[in-house]
Amino acid sequence: MTAHACGAFTGKKLMGCCLCCSTPVYDVREVFGPGPLEGEPSRVGLMTEEGTQVEILLSDGSVCHVDFCVPCATHLRPEDLWTVWQKNVERTDELERLAGRRDNQRRMSVRAASRLWPLGVIRWRRQDRAKVGLVWDGLVVDRRRPVPVVAPPAEKPARRRRARHAH
């Protein structure tokens, strides 16, 4: 694991918590009872003042939303993005396993996620409690953040074209 400015990427990804330090960034309404996820948040409410979502552009053009606390998000560097994505892939594997998926189904989901890679941070989003319900997801772009960290885009090598011979 890569060391992070706020400590380190501690443990696994938990729902409604900072990916880096596992601090709750949403109001936890319920936790799981006895079982493999005991004590983890099972239902969350609104985002706390300490929380933010970081939007990361992935190699296929999709966007991944990752929850962080503000101190961890401000120290996020381009070299940390790979570790962030690997923690998401590990969580996918864990949830597929707990859902009782067959091994081949689980491996397909994990392989699909593993084929992607993060390109860079697009923006931060914070929940504005005054606008919950007015904005479709209750989150708005945070204009108070520093300039987003964007890694240089990875480009696919150009395809070779076969030369056509005139007959």
Instruction: Output the tens digit of pLDDT for each of the chain's 167 residues.
Output: 444 555 556 677 888 888 888 888 888 888 888 888 888 888 888 888 888 888 888 888 888 888 888 888 888 888 888 888 888 888 888 888 888 889 898 898 888 888 888 888 888 888 777 767 666 666 776 655 555 555 555 455 555 555 555 55
Which of helix, strand or coil describes residue 108? helix
Is position 166 within any domain?
Answer: no
Count the neighbouring beta carbons within 10 Å of the beta carbon of residue 84.
Answer: 22
What's the domain count of the chain?
1
In a domain, 18, yes or no: yes
The whole-number pLDDT of residue 161 equals 58
Q: Give a yes or no: residue 160 inside a domain.
A: no
pLDDT value at position 13?
A: 81
Residue 126's contacts (CB-CB under 8 Å, 6 or more residues apart) are 47, 51, 52, 53, 139, 140, 142
Q: Is residue 151 part of a domain?
A: no
Query: Does a structural domain hold residue 113?
Result: yes
Half-sphere exposure of 115 (CA within 13 A, CB side): 8
Residue 149 covered by a domain: no
Total-model pTM: 0.70
Judge contact between 120 and 57, C-beta under 8 A.
yes
Question: Do 144 and 73 contact (CB within 8 A), yes or no?
Answer: no
Q: Which of 149, 144, 124 is nearest to 25 (CA)?
A: 124
Residue 127: the pLDDT is 77
pLDDT for 4: 54
Name the amino acid, one letter, at 160. Answer: R
Q: Is residue 148 part of a domain?
A: no
Separation CA 116–CA 101 (nearest Å): 22
Residue 158 lies in a domain: no
Which residue range forms the structural domain that includes residue 42?
Answer: 3-141
